[in-house]
Structure 1
Amino acid sequence: MKKLLVLIFALVVSLSFACTDIVVGKAASTDGSVITSHTCDGCYDSRIQIVPAADHAEGEMAPVWEWIVYADRRPLEKLGEIPQVPHTYKYFNVAYPFMNEHQVIIGETTIGGRRETMNSEEAIMTIEQLEVFALQRAKTAREAIKIMGELAEKYGYRESCYLGECLTVTDPNEAWVFEIFGVGPLWTRDSGKPGAVWAAQRVPDDHITCVPNMSRIAEIDPDSPDFMVSENYISTAVELGLYDPESGEPFVWREVYGGVKNAGMGSRVRLWRVYSTLAPSKNWDPYDAPDYPFSIKPERKVSFQDVISLFRDTYKGTQFDMTEDPDWYVESRDGWVKSPLATPQVDGTWRALLDITYYRPIARYYCSYYFVSQARDWLPNEIGGVLWFGLDNPENSLFVPVYCGITDVPESWKTLDRTKLDWNSAWWSFALVDDLVNQRYGDLKPKLDEVMIPIQNKYFQQQEAIEKAA
């Protein structure tokens, strides 16, 4: 009965969240790459724009913008400005900016959390603006986290999706999970108090982790080099009534701020899928996902192609495979058979029509863009950093290499208007294919894979030759 209640509550909560990040340490990967990744699920700006490095005059100010995530369809609004630095690095801009010229690479996933942490109206630093400043100013993951933490404390963290955010921050040597929350609606700039509370934990080199819209950091050791944390991480929780130091209970970050015990079933099942795939002997229980360890040692080395496979995942062959829902079966002369309409990309219309039990998969039909990255310390930055990037649903789209050293992308990857069909927009091409496949998934998915998988494998096979030639 307890698990049933958890399932009912979690299914409701999970419908509002999106985005999945998978992280692999350099000693856990097959080739020594540090890997992070990101599915940007929802309706966000998926245009790749490369912002060049620049020198700046003394006294110059840098604008602080809101609505970077929706810049494809609404104007940016200036919330303020901060002192500019003398030099800013080249970075790649999308809804959530993801890479700079030094192989600092960032994935994003909203983690929600306790409502008491909602931001003050005086706060101006959204997570995507923090990413911009980090990528413009940092050469390492540690530097990026320090920059974002300091700016958020000084200028206030401002939510742009829902409450707390997580960034998976990597460089050629390290991988980190950075989580940040607001400090409540009463904060003011002149209060003298930090305008954000944040913590970051390093992923051990021989470990992997996954952040599927739920806080993952547990107990914190502020004296360990594997943690970075704001000084107010306990005091703010006490002020907001989230933690009583006299209770004798340990301070568990993901419970105090993240409210992880209320994590949606969509988050639980995604974390279960990643951990059970990469460490299958542990017999993970999906209902216990909020209590899973922060990171685990995989039972075999993990390649970036393995992460891509997980990003295409729809729980096929598991108890959460929505194509096996009994409502997809129809009676025929040969008995009950599965309809070719059965799809794992079940939208609200199908759920309402057939009463299908929904489990939010890693691959979603309304993903804007996604990537799996490699940061490699044995190669020059120009080719050492590469994002295997794609548009729309990762299950039915390609992962295309985007190297750190490029200075431009095709015009079709910079063009996006979701309100009208545009054959000159790459997003529209991939979105239409996915939409068509899901009209008759049972018949069309195999036909798509016959074409798509050989192309994808060709990209993989060409990587070594391309990098040698470069």
Structure 2
Amino acid sequence: MSLSELSTCTTILVGRLASYDGSTLIARNEDAGTAVDPKKFVVVKPGNQPRDYHAKLSKFTLKLPDNPLRYTAIPNAVATSGIWGEAGINADNVAMSATETITTNERILGADPLVTNGVGEEDLLTVTLPYIHSAREGVKRVGEILKTYGTYESNGIIFSDVNEIWYMETAGGHHWVAQRIPDDAYVVAPNQTGIQEIDFDDPDHFMFADDLQQFVKDNHLNLGQGFNFREIFGSHSQLDHHYNTPRAWYAQRYFSSDSVTDQDPMSDSLPFISYADKKITIEDIKYVLSSHYQDTPYDPFALGASRATAPFRPIGINRTQELCVLQLRPNLPAGRSAIQWVAMAANPFNTLVPFFTNVNDTPASYRDTTNSLDSHNAYWANRLISLIVADHFQLLISDVESYQEKTLGYGHQRIAELDQQLNGLTGDELTEALTSANQITADHVMAATDELLTTLVAKGGNQVLGAFTRENY
């Protein structure tokens, strides 16, 4: 498979001291190879978790442990090509997002070839998230799977709990490294190997394959000083300069404008670990993961834009299927700590909706996605909106922005209200209350989405080719 045939995503990680409320925040756009690849948001209960896992895209199989945890996921609507669970939070409030497809180089693939029937993005969330009790355990579990079975692709894998965020990158068929993101830092990962200098004597911040150093030495892979994982295992191609690095450039320009004024969108030396000018909010993450290089010369939606003026792949691309921001809040009871913010379809035109994850089920409008268009389903309604607005951007974007502001405001209001209303509830009573509360939240946002879709169809319909009024002639 080529990069374009896989999910080609953008990731943002925000340490707890860098976020607006002390939460750990991990977020990722899931970008498919085509514009339409429907997704659904579900809860997987222990009784529905497979015990003998069989992949669809490869012959990878795995006997899974007993006693899995309940977890949320955002899999494909129809599992003909596999589950692709992508992002979720388990009952122990451990979050996982998998995967950020990344690049490597020929020397690595020669020394440690990819494994045709190894593990891949299709499988990783399903075979990992129900069995881990901390972010570190997530890294260790995937590391063991890579050592035993290998992988057929290069990926970045994210784990978080209320205290830590770990970013893990695979290299070749069996090798990997993981770095703990500093609490006061953020990371943007745009389909490139990102981790830089490794400190092999710092187990609090780095984990890695047992033989990583010897493997690099034996195969003469380190061409520089120190041990820079990106330089050894990554790529510096023309594709990177137009497809990957501009996304990191734009995000760092937004979060760290005081310190990155001289960076170039095609630079090979953008930092992996970055520090923001101010605390980072949910809205900041949504803005960056929706971006199309607005307020730069490279915006494809600008008046007069062409391929010549917009040579870089946007972050908020039409091929985005969903965005999840996984928020683990400190200083709250565990039963109300975890929130999965979900946005369906193309990010410039959708909205994030907060769902508590300590629930028995998800709202039908997010759960029951099919391959057939249904405007009352969150995925399909937002896919329609993105199609209409992209063709009438200047006319309709103000309606979308008003909708986004109102619905995101409502989302924050709901969290604050529920934190007050449900204070003191525990166990099954709390789980049932949060399940019902999520339904109310979804119903409100879907009503606003239906209203927006109606407005866009009415306004956009007057501007289509073939429209005719006597006043114009």
The answer to whether TM tops 0.5 is yes
Secondary structure in 2 matching 1:264:
helix
1:308 alignment partner, one of 276, 286, 295: 286
Q: CA-to-partner distance for each residue in 1:107-131, whole Å, 9 max, x for gaps? A: 331012124154223x432234232
Aligned to 2:194: 216
CA distance in 2, matches of 1:127, 1:452: 30
Q: How does 1:98-109 map to 2 (within 5 A)?
A: 98-107=88-97, 108-109=99-100
**Partners in 2 of 1:445 and 1:55 — Cα distance?**
42
* Structure 2 CA distance for partners of 1:231 and 1:267, relative to 1, 3 Å: same
Cross-structure match for 1:280: 257
CA distance in 2, matches of 1:138, 1:105: 10
Q: What is aligned with 2:105? A: 114
1:227 alignment partner, one of 206, 211, 215: 206
What does 1:6-45 correspond to in 2, within 5 Å? 18-42=8-32, 43=34, 44=37
Q: What is the deviation of 1:211?
A: 0.6
Whole-Å Cα distance in 1 between the matches of residues 154 and 9 of structure 2?
13
Kindly indicate whether residue 433 of structure 2 is the aligned counterpart of residue 454 of structure 1: no
CA shift for structure 1 position 202:
0.8
- Tell me which residue corresponds to 1:137: 131
CA contact (8 A) 1:97 1:132 kept: no
- Asked if the contact 1:64–1:125 (Cα under 8 Å) also holds between the matched residues in 2, the reply is no
Equivalent position to 1:50, from 43, 49, 56:
43
Provide TM-score, normalisation by structure 1: 0.78
Determine the structure 1 residue equivalent to 2:80.
Answer: none
Per the TM alignment, residue 314 of structure 1 is displaced from its structure 2 partner at its CA by: 1.7
What residue in structure 2 maps to residue 361 of structure 1? 314
- Name the SS of the counterpart of 2:127 in structure 1: helix
Q: Is the CA contact (8 Å cut-off) linking 2:7 and 2:30 kept in structure 1?
A: no
In structure 2, give the amino acid aligned to 1:113.
Answer: T
What's the secondary structure of 1:281's corresponding residue?
Answer: coil
Give RMSD over aligned pairs. 2.7
Aligned residue runs from structure 1 range 150-161, under 5 A: 150-157=144-151, 159=152
- Structure 1 residue 363 displacement after superposition: 1.0
Q: What is residue 439 of structure 2 aligned with on the other side? A: none
1:396 aligns with 2:358: no
| 1:277-302 C-alpha deviation (Å, 9 max, x unpaired) | 11111114134643222212212111
More off after superposition, 130-139 vs 319-328 = 319-328
Asked if the contact 2:255/2:276 (under 8 Å) is kept, the reply is yes
Structure 1 SS opposite 2:102:
strand
Question: 1-side partners of 2:295 and 2:370: how far apart?
Answer: 37
Q: Secondary structure at the match of 1:315?
A: coil
Partner of 1:413: 366
**How far is 1:98 from its partner?**
2.4
SS of structure 2 residue aligned to 1:323: coil
Q: Secondary structure at the match of 2:401?
A: helix
Total equivalences in the alignment? 400
Report the secondary structure of 1:109's partner residue: strand
| 1-structure distance, mates of 2:305, 2:132 | 52
Where does 1:214-293 land on structure 2 (aligned, <5 Å)? 214-224=192-202, 225-238=204-217, 241=219, 243=221, 249-260=225-236, 263-282=240-259, 283-287=261-265, 289-293=267-271
State the 1:215 CA deviation: 1.0
What are the within-5 Å matches in structure 2 for residues 312-327 of structure 1?
312-324=290-302, 326=304
Q: Give me the identity figure in percent.
A: 23
Matches within 5 A, 1:425-464: 425-464=377-416
Q: Give the aligned partner of residue 53 of structure 2.
A: 64
Q: Deviations over 1:56-91 (max 9, x none)?
A: 9xxxx9323324xxxxxxxx7763232x33321111
Q: Does the aligned pair in 1 maintain the 2:24–2:160 contact within 8 Å?
A: yes
Contact 1:101 1:381 in 2 (8 A): no
Task: Find out whether 1:80 has 2:32 as its counterpart.
Answer: no
1:324/1:411 CA distance change after superposition, 3 Å: closer
Deviation at 1:414, TM superposition (A): 2.4
- State the one-letter code of the partner of 2:210: E
Give 3-state SS (helix, strand or coil) of 1:201's partner: strand
For 1:284 and 1:408, how far apart are their aligned partners in 2? 48
1:371 matched to 2:324? The reply is: yes
Q: What is the distance in 2 between the residues matched to 1:366 and 1:313?
A: 13
Using the TM superposition, give the Cα deviation of residue 447 of structure 1 relative to its aligned residue in structure 2, in angstroms. Answer: 2.4
Q: Is the 8 A contact 1:381 1:404 kept in 2?
A: no
Task: Tell me the secondary structure at the aligned position of residue 428 of structure 1.
Answer: helix
Matched letter for residue 397 of structure 2 = K
Separation in 2, partners of 1:45, 1:222 = 42
Write out per-residue CA displacement over residues 11-44 of structure 1, whole angstroms, 9 at most, x where no aligned residue.
Answer: xx99987211111111111210001101001154
For the residues of structure 2 that align with 1:62 and 1:36, how far apart are their CA atoms? 28
One-letter amino acid matched to 1:138 = I
Aligned to 2:437: none
1:219 partner letter: E
